Chain A
Amino acid sequence: MASYVQTSQAETLAPPTERYTLLGWVYKHLLSPWYNLVLTLVGGLLLYAIFKPALTWAFTGARWAVIPANLNLLMRGQYPAEEAWRLWAVIFLLALAGGYNWGVWSKTVGPALITAFAIPWLLMLVPWFSWGTRLNLLIVEAVGLVGYALGRITPKQRSQWAVYAFLAYLLAMLLLLRGLQEGHPTLPMVPTRLWGGLLLSLLLAFFGIVFSFPLGVLLALGRTAERMPAIQTISVLYIEFIRGVPLISLLFMSQVMLQLFLPEDFPQIDHMLRALAAITLFSAAYTAENVRGGLQSIPKGQYEAAASVGLNGYQTMRLIILPQALRAVIPVLVGQFIGLFKDTSLVALVGLFDLLGIARVILANPDWLGTQREVYVFIAFLYWIFSYLMSYSSRRVEEALGVGKF
């Protein structure tokens, strides 16, 4: 005989939420129990000890004048002032292509989008910028919006246009940066030895990533291709060799040694290209290992299912394995690319004038003796901004793709 029978259904309740007053929060998280209080005190003292002198220096002692006086140099090196409009054009096009891609791929308006559109406005607040710069930033904002709107109205079946837009952007960017030929009326050539500062750092990182990524994926596939021992051996040798030497030695080899090995009448290869080649070859080996990790995480059943419906090896890789493997390694790859961006500062040691190289030039100028701290803090800040942007956007992309969700 039943001793209990349900008579009415339990009602649905909202989950309990924790609510604090400000003081309550402070008490719960910072002051109790007693060891939390101790930690809070020690932490507070440490912060004070570190930040007091730093802030005192930043607001009273520092000669920040060195930054605005050399801002152009820091931003674009020796790139001629009368051609600077071309750099702005590159940025406008970037905003256009970037906005367009965003509009095509993501139809939701979220915090990431708002952040992206807030960036030009924030930059306008930088006191060292001229009104011309601010106007240009306004144009960036407007062009970005136009691109975004165009992306939104692009029908879903035409998403591949976003990719074409990006490729077109790459070409336009190279054309604008380098120009046509010496003395051309509208687009005179600007040789790469004049490219410098933040411009050079970003370009090295950008093209380093764009070129090393496909190379790295190919190497990863090569290393896992058990049916092709020759290709596998070459991939393993390459990856292990590169991972065994520091980037700086590759840079020295490309800048100094390469020309010694080439025949005497061989034309000088562009210094920036050589540095870029070293960076690309270096990064590709690490990309390969990261991608290989992703490939190994794909269960055997996926290969079998692909084979059982008749896909060939190439189709299996392209449609089934790589999309899953790459998605799985986005976080690691972004971490690696942030490292690559910061590693581009090594080119300063082989005579290129990237952000760090320009900093050293400024510091060698007798007018700015003793401003090491100001200059290095400033360029560290620039590195931080861009690294943080990369990491922030990667997290947004991960969310959009649902990484780790299935």
Chain B
Amino acid sequence: MTVHTPETVQESPSTEHEHIIVCREVHKWFGDFHVLRGINLNVKPQEVVVIIGPSGSGKSTFIRCINRLEEHQRGDIIVDGIPLTHDVRNIEKIRSEVGMVFQQFNLFPHLTVMENITLAPIHVRKMKKEEAEALAMELLERVGIPEQAHKYPGQLSGGQQQRVAIARALAMRPKIMLFDEPTSALDPEMIKEVLDVMKELAQSGMTMLVVTHEMGFAREVADRIVFMDGGEIVEVGTPEHFFTNPQHERTKLFLSQIL
């Protein structure tokens, strides 16, 4: 049995060609508070990585660094070959290639479902309105709510809103999707409908980074699970490794609490 530490899971020295996300020694502070303490993680195209860890461990902060909603202060983050620097053009380019789904959905309440989805394709990708609407309908079919197209977000259930949020992110045809606890704000009976959409997305070959407490999802869908604590990656491994043979004391403690 090999011991899975970040280094061994990452395999040979990473090349930017085979990894779509490269994070090297990423550090971040909020004021004096050292949130991320040297994160190393590389993700291959089509890989599904689930990030778990106790509250306050920096999971959200880390994935928000990947589309620059938060700015890291040391180390490198390279997404699809584009290094994240202060260059605004790079940031905009990366944001249009990385979709994000939030815990609180963050739909635009003054726009219909259709307008929520077509907004970015029309204004960022300069797509024609008719074309964008056809794309939106296709995506709404995919997430299972084509009949809601002309309602406002406030008229939908939480599960439906989160599926619209996923469709909105997909409308930019992203190469990577980030999920920050997408089911934490949902009633139990709605969690499954969102997880099903995410599973289908994973099977279709989307590269995904998912912060979640849904261990069933992690076990079934993840290629790798990353356990974070105190701003560090403590352990990385396959689901099988995690649920049968966790190595680190902190991982064992966390899993014993959550399972």
Q: Which residue of chain B has its CB nearest to the CB of A309?
A: B120
Q: How far is the CA of A315 from the CA of B121 in the complex (A)?
A: 13
Question: By the criterion CB–CB under 8 Å, are A305 and B106 in contact?
Answer: yes
Which residues of chain A are within 8 angstroms of B153 by Cβ–Cβ distance?
406
A113 CB → nearest B CB, Å: 24
Question: By the criterion CB–CB under 8 Å, are A324 and B110 in contact?
Answer: yes
Q: How far is the CA of A301 from the CA of B108 in the complex (A)?
A: 10
Which residues of chain B are within 8 angstroms of A308 by Cβ–Cβ distance?
67, 69, 95, 98-100, 102, 169
B131 CB → nearest A CB, Å: 16
Most buried by B among A305, A309, A311: A309
Question: By the criterion CB–CB under 8 Å, are A301 and B110 in contact?
Answer: no
Q: How far is the CA of A302 from the CA of B109 in the complex (A)?
A: 9
A312 CB → nearest B CB, Å: 6
Q: How far is the CA of A302 from the CA of B104 in the complex (A)?
A: 10
- Of the candidates A299, A309, A320, A323, which one forms a contact with B168 in the assembled complex, judged by CB atoms under 8 Å apart? A309
Q: Which residue of chain A has its CB nearest to the CB of B88?
A: A312
Q: Which residue of chain B has its CB nearest to the CB of A318?
A: B123
Question: By the criterion CB–CB under 8 Å, are B106 and A304 in contact?
Answer: yes
Q: How far is the CA of A82 from the CA of B153 in the complex (A)?
A: 57
A386 CB → nearest B CB, Å: 30
Q: How far is the CA of A301 from the CA of B123 in the complex (A)?
A: 20
For window 272-311 of chain A, which residues contact chain B by CB distance below 8 Å? Answer: 299, 301-302, 304-311
Q: What per-residue 1/0 map shows which CB atoms of B83-94 lie under 8 Å from chain A?
A: 000000000100
Which residues of chain A are within 8 angstroms of B110 by Cβ–Cβ distance?
323-324, 327, 406
Q: How far is the CA of A310 from the CA of B98 in the complex (A)?
A: 9
Q: Which residue of chain A has its CB nearest to the CB of B67?
A: A308
- Of the candidates B104, B120, B154, B165, which one forms a contact with A311 in the assembled complex, judged by CB atoms under 8 Å apart? B120
B3 CB → nearest A CB, Å: 37
Question: By the criterion CB–CB under 8 Å, are A315 and B109 in contact?
Answer: no
Question: By the criterion CB–CB under 8 Å, are B109 and A310 in contact?
Answer: no
Any chain B CB within 8 A of the CB of A158?
no
Q: How far is the CA of A327 from the CA of B95 in the complex (A)?
A: 28
Question: By the criterion CB–CB under 8 Å, are B120 and A324 in contact?
Answer: no
- Of the candidates B98, B124, B154, which one forms a contact with A405 in the assembled complex, judged by CB atoms under 8 Å apart? B154
A155 CB → nearest B CB, Å: 15
Which residues of chain A are within 8 angstroms of B120 by Cβ–Cβ distance?
309-311
Which residues of chain A are within 8 angstroms of B67 by Cβ–Cβ distance?
307-308
Question: By the criterion CB–CB under 8 Å, are B154 and A319 in contact?
Answer: no
Q: How far is the CA of A311 from the CA of B120 in the complex (A)?
A: 7
Question: By the criterion CB–CB under 8 Å, are B123 and A305 in contact?
Answer: no
Q: What per-residue 1/0 map shows which CB atoms of A374-406 lie under 8 Å from chain B?
A: 000000000000000000000000000000011
Any chain A CB within 8 A of the CB of B137?
no
A231 CB → nearest B CB, Å: 18
Most buried by B among A310, A311, A405: A310
Q: A301-B102, A305-B102, A319-B123 are in contact. Are A310 and B108 (CB under 8 A)?
A: no
Q: How far is the CA of A311 from the CA of B171 in the complex (A)?
A: 13
Q: How far is the CA of A311 from the CA of B122 in the complex (A)?
A: 10
Which residues of chain A are within 8 angstroms of B98 by Cβ–Cβ distance?
308
Question: By the criterion CB–CB under 8 Å, are A302 and B106 in contact?
Answer: yes
- Of the candidates A307, A310, A405, which one forms a contact with B69 in the assembled complex, judged by CB atoms under 8 Å apart? A307
Which residues of chain B are within 8 angstroms of A310 by Cβ–Cβ distance?
92, 95-96, 120, 124, 172
Any chain A CB within 8 A of the CB of B217?
no
Q: Which residue of chain A has its CB nearest to the CB of B168?
A: A309
Question: By the criterion CB–CB under 8 Å, are A311 and B107 in contact?
Answer: no
Most buried by B among A304, A305, A324: A305
Q: Which residue of chain B has its CB nearest to the CB of A315?
A: B123
Question: By the criterion CB–CB under 8 Å, are A307 and B123 in contact?
Answer: no
- Of the candidates B102, B154, B169, which one forms a contact with A304 in the assembled complex, judged by CB atoms under 8 Å apart? B102
Question: By the criterion CB–CB under 8 Å, are A320 and B108 in contact?
Answer: yes
Q: What per-residue 1/0 map shows which CB atoms of B106-132 lie under 8 Å from chain A?
A: 111110000000011001100000000
Q: Which residue of chain B has its CB nearest to the CB of A320?
A: B108
Question: By the criterion CB–CB under 8 Å, are B92 and A312 in contact?
Answer: yes
Q: Which residue of chain A has its CB nearest to the CB of B117?
A: A309
B193 CB → nearest A CB, Å: 21
Which residues of chain A are within 8 angstroms of B107 by Cβ–Cβ distance?
305
Question: By the criterion CB–CB under 8 Å, are A309 and B95 in contact?
Answer: yes
Q: How far is the CA of A310 from the CA of B122 in the complex (A)?
A: 11
Q: How far is the CA of A218 from the CA of B130 in the complex (A)?
A: 33
- Of the candidates A301, A324, A406, which one forms a contact with B154 in the assembled complex, judged by CB atoms under 8 Å apart? A406
Which residues of chain A are within 8 angstroms of B69 by Cβ–Cβ distance?
304, 307-308
Which residues of chain B are within 8 angstroms of A304 by Cβ–Cβ distance?
69, 100, 102, 106
Q: A406-B152, A406-B153, A406-B154 are in contact. Are A309 and B119 (CB under 8 A)?
A: yes
- Of the candidates A299, A301, A307, A323, which one forms a contact with B95 in the assembled complex, judged by CB atoms under 8 Å apart? A307
Q: How far is the CA of A312 from the CA of B96 in the complex (A)?
A: 11
Q: Which residue of chain A has its CB nearest to the CB of B91?
A: A307
Which residues of chain B are within 8 angstroms of A312 by Cβ–Cβ distance?
92
Which residues of chain A are within 8 angstroms of B102 by Cβ–Cβ distance?
301, 304-305, 308
Pull 10 A–B residue pairs with CB atoms less than 8 Å apart, ordered by A.
Answer: A306-B108, A307-B67, A307-B69, A308-B169, A309-B95, A309-B99, A309-B169, A310-B92, A310-B96, A406-B109
Q: Could you list which residues of chain B lie within 8 angstroms of chain A, going by C-beta atoms?
A: 67, 69, 92, 95-96, 98-100, 102, 104, 106-110, 119-120, 123-124, 152-154, 165, 168-169, 171-172
Beyond the given pairs A327-B110, A406-B153, 8 more chain A to chain B contacts, judged by CB atoms under 8 angstroms and listed by A's residue number, are: A308-B95, A308-B98, A309-B99, A309-B119, A309-B124, A311-B123, A315-B123, A315-B124
Q: Could you list which residues of chain A lie within 8 angstroms of chain B, going by C-beta atoms?
A: 299, 301-302, 304-312, 315, 319-320, 323-324, 327, 405-406
- Sort A-B residue pairs by CB-CB distance and give the 5 closest, nearest first: A310-B96, A305-B106, A309-B120, A301-B106, A406-B154
